[in-house]
Amino acid sequence: MTLLKILFLEDRPEDVELTLFELRLAGYNADWKRVDTQKDYVASLDPALDLILADYSLPQFTALNALHLLQERQLDIPFIVVTGSIEEAAIECMKQGASDYLLKDRLGRLGPAIESALQQKRLRAEKRQAEEALQRAHRNLAEAYEETLRGWSKAMDLHDHELEGHSERVTAMTLKLAAAMGMPEEQIKYIQRGALLHDIGKIAVPDAILQKPGPLSEEDWVIMRKHPLYALEMLAAISYLRPSLDIPYAHHERWDGSGYPRGLKGEEIPLAARIFAIIDVWDALLYARVYHPAWEIPKLKEYILSQSGRQFDPRVVEKFFELLNRGEFDRK
């Protein structure tokens, strides 16, 4: 016989004995306890319980109250209402989550009702396990994607030794500025990916141009200005990265409309790209390159301010300096 751990919510011991008899007829033995007050009921709730059999009407509270107390504790224990005559109230319990209800003078259905309730609990447990496994798989896949992105970013930086660490620095700064600008939390992950891959399109630009030790020619610039379009071609086909395109595709647009590749102006430029544009220029000028020495910070501040309303969104410039003056962007 199957052994069940049962909590009886019942004020009549003789009714419990009758129910135990029906349980044995149905093939069940019981490790049981009887309570008849709310205090004792709450104290007896235990995840190890297999079943709760609850009389609908008790002197102090009802089976519906007991069901709500069980649900508040988020315990998945089959709950069957046993009532003498108040069938409508028992049906209401089922509507609110009880497994089943039985009339005390018709306990012959007790065995099938328990079997059904236990089966439903098993199905719920299997569903939860499947959902948890799926969530773990999604997390593992997301982590693998993120590692791949960081690998791509590192490879791009190593391709040009002067850029080593650039992508990680600008990503960290961009996330701080985006949060300060009040960008929604759900967009932050897309900003992070876009910042890491902001220059992914340069993979398609010849090394002779990327690593040229002097100023680029007009012909060189025609090719260089295509790298946001190359980024679009590379990333748009990847559903995981498509929401992150704003920065790779638009970070060379300018507030006054003189940027590239589309000549967007003002708020036509995605906010993520407007935020990143300041960070990218700040980091690019703060560190020495083959074609320019590192700029001193006072000169760099003056330059960023001079480009407010021209290259950069004035509102973003204001917030950038607010964070800068608080030391948020200090080099570690």
In total, how many domains does the chain have? 2
Question: Taking 90 as the threshold, does the pLDDT of residue 56 lie above it?
Answer: no
Q: What integer pLDDT is reported at residue 268 of this predicted model?
A: 97
Cis check: omega of the bond before 13, within 30 degrees of 0: no
Q: Answer yes or no: do 44 and 181 share one domain.
A: no
Known active-site residue 332: no
- Give yes or no for a contact between 54 and 81, defined as CB atoms under 8 angstroms apart: yes
* Dist. CA 152–CA 241, nearest whole Å: 13
pLDDT at 21 over 60: yes
Residue type, 186: E
Q: Which residue has the tokens 């973003």?
A: 316
Q: Give residue 277's pLDDT.
A: 97
Q: Are residues 184 and 289 in the same domain?
A: yes
Q: What was the pLDDT predicted at 281?
A: 95
- 70 and 175 part of one domain: no
- pLDDT score recorded for residue 329: 85
What value does the mean pLDDT take over residues 301-307? 96
Residue 177 lies in a domain: yes
Amino acid, single-letter form, for residue 194: G
- Is residue 124 domain-shared with residue 164, that is, in the same domain? no
- Show the beta-strand stretches assigned E in the chain: 2-9, 28-35, 51-55, 79-83, 100-103
Same domain flag for 103 and 169 = no
Distance of CA 11 to the CA centre of its chain: 47
Higher per-residue pLDDT: 167 or 140: 167
Active-site residue, from 121, 154, 176, 202? 202
Q: How many CB atoms sit inside 10 A of residue 130's CB?
A: 10
Query: Of the residues 130, 152, 169, which one is the last residue of a structural domain?
Result: 130
CATH of the domain at 171: 1.10.3210.10
Q: Has residue 78 got a pLDDT over 90?
A: yes
Q: Are residue 170 and residue 305 in the same domain, yes or no? A: yes
Asked whether residue 318 is domain-assigned, the answer is yes
Side-chain half-sphere of 219: how many Cα atoms within 13 Å?
3
pLDDT band at 182 (very low <50, low <70, confident <90, very high): very high
Is the same domain home to 169 and 313? yes
Helix, coil or strand: residue 55: strand
Virtual torsion, Cα 234, 237, 240, 243, nearest 10 deg: 80
Higher-confidence position of 1 and 303:
303
Tokens of 193: 């990916």
Residue 275 tokens, joined: 């935020």
Residue 331 lies in a domain: no
**Euclidean distance between CA atoms 114 and 206, whole angstroms:** 73
The verdict on residue 144 lying in a domain is no
Whether residue 139 lies inside any domain: the answer is: no
pLDDT at 147: 76
Both 244 and 318 in a single domain?
yes
What does the longest C-alpha to C-alpha distance in the chain come to?
A: 99
Domain boundary among 110, 130, 150: 130
- Summarised one tens digit per residue, pLDDT across range 127-164 is 988 888 878 877 776 777 777 777 766 666 655 555 56
pLDDT of residue 142: 72
Q: Could you tell me if residue 35 is inside a domain?
A: yes
pLDDT, residue 146, reads: 74
Q: Is residue 309 part of a domain?
A: yes
* CA nearest neighbour of 200 among 240, 162, 165, 159: 159
Judge whether 308 and 314 are in contact, CB under 8 Å: yes
- Do 84 and 212 fall within a single domain? no
Q: What is the mean pLDDT of residues 6-33?
A: 92
Instruction: Give the least confident one: 9-13, 73-77, 89-93, 137-141.
Output: 137-141
The tokens for 169 are: 């620095």
Q: End of a domain among 77, 111, 130?
A: 130
Residue 138 lies in a domain: no
Has residue 101 got a pLDDT over 80?
Answer: yes
Angle of CA points 32, 35, 41, to nearest 5°: 105
Q: Do residue 177 and residue 315 come from a single domain?
A: yes
Backbone torsions φ then ψ of 239, nearest 5 degrees: -60, -35
pLDDT at res. 230? 92
- Least confidently predicted of 65-74, 200-209, 246-255, 274-283: 200-209
Contacting residues for 109 by C-beta, under 8 A, at least 6 apart: 102
Same domain, yes or no: 123 and 165: no
Triad 54, 8, 30: Cα angle to 5°: 130
Give me the DSSP letters along 263-315: ---GGGS-HHHHHHHHHHHHHHHHS-BTTBPPPPHHHHHHHHHHTBTTTB-HH
pLDDT digit string, tens, across residues 320-329: 999 999 999 8
Average pLDDT value for residue range 101-111: 86
- Residue 264 and residue 168 in one domain: yes
Domain that includes residue 80, residue range: 2-130
Q: Residue 93 is part of a domain; what is its CATH number?
A: 3.40.50.2300
